[in-house]
Amino acid sequence: MILTKYFKKRFFQLFRGINYENCSEWSILPETQFGGCHGKMDEKFTQAVDRIVREDARYHPDAYEFINEAVSFTVKKLARTGKPRGARHISGGELVSGTMDLAVEQFGPLAPDVLENWGIRCGNDVGNIVYNMIGVELLSASPEDSRSDFDCHPELIRELRIRMGSPSDFPKPSDPPIIA
């Protein structure tokens, strides 16, 4: 079976916890419980995420890297839509939408499965990750920000499955048609 470069990269990210793009050195013995790749990744970020995961193991370390990428992705996306350059603050709802867009862009039809594997199932999970990152100063918040900003998209995985065209999660009709 021949795998494309895209699917090889996604396979390693999903099942081995490896950031394929940023790896400069490979190791059989993991540096952390999820390890596998060492090298160019920002050491401060990696150490902070390791500290977060030791205290709150609900989310896979790759989820933190992905949400960090989603913040940048969302800021760039909003800049393209005309938001002034000086205004770089994004709302919780904007970040959740940007997270879904980035997941679809990066993982295609695997997006719901990848996010679910990392523990991201709803907007509140994105908010929990963001506030964990704020707690170790990887991200910052304005005084008017709160966790309730992420209450949108309570069924993020279901929304992604519908967006990707998975019939198992389409809304069921109340009266199915009768075929004679």
H or E element that contains 78: helix 61-80
Can you give the pLDDT at residue 165?
76
Predicted TM-score (pTM) above 0.95? no
Task: Flag whether 178 is in a domain.
Answer: no
| Domain assignment of residue 180, yes or no | no
Q: How much of the chain exceeds pLDDT 70, in percent? A: 66
Co-location of 68 and 129 in the same domain:
yes
Residue 37 phi, psi dihedral angles, 5° rounding: -125, 135
- Amino acid identity, residue 53? V
Instruction: Return the SS3 of 26.
Output: strand
Same domain, 109 and 146: yes
Assigned domain for 174 exists? no
Q: Tell whether 114 and 134 lie within a shared domain.
A: yes
Residue 154 falls within a domain, yes or no? Answer: yes
Is residue 47 domain-shared with residue 94, that is, in the same domain?
yes
Confidence bin at 75 (pLDDT 50/70/90): very high
Whether pLDDT at 29 is above 50: no
CB 148 within 8 A of CB 137: no
Residues 6 or more apart whose CB falls under 8 angstroms from that of 149 comprise 91, 92, 93, 127
Mean pLDDT, rounded, of the chain: 78
Q: Which two tokens stand for residue 58?
A: 């609900």
In this structure, what token pair is assigned to residue 2? 């021949």
Closest CA to 67 of 109, 129, 1: 129
Main-chain phi, psi angles of 150, to 5 degrees: -100, 10
pLDDT digits (tens, 9 = 90+) for 106-149: 999 899 999 999 999 999 999 999 999 999 999 999 888 999 99
φ and ψ of 155, to 5 deg: -120, 60
Q: Quick one: 80 and 118 in the same domain?
A: yes
Q: Which domain range does residue 88 map to?
A: 43-165
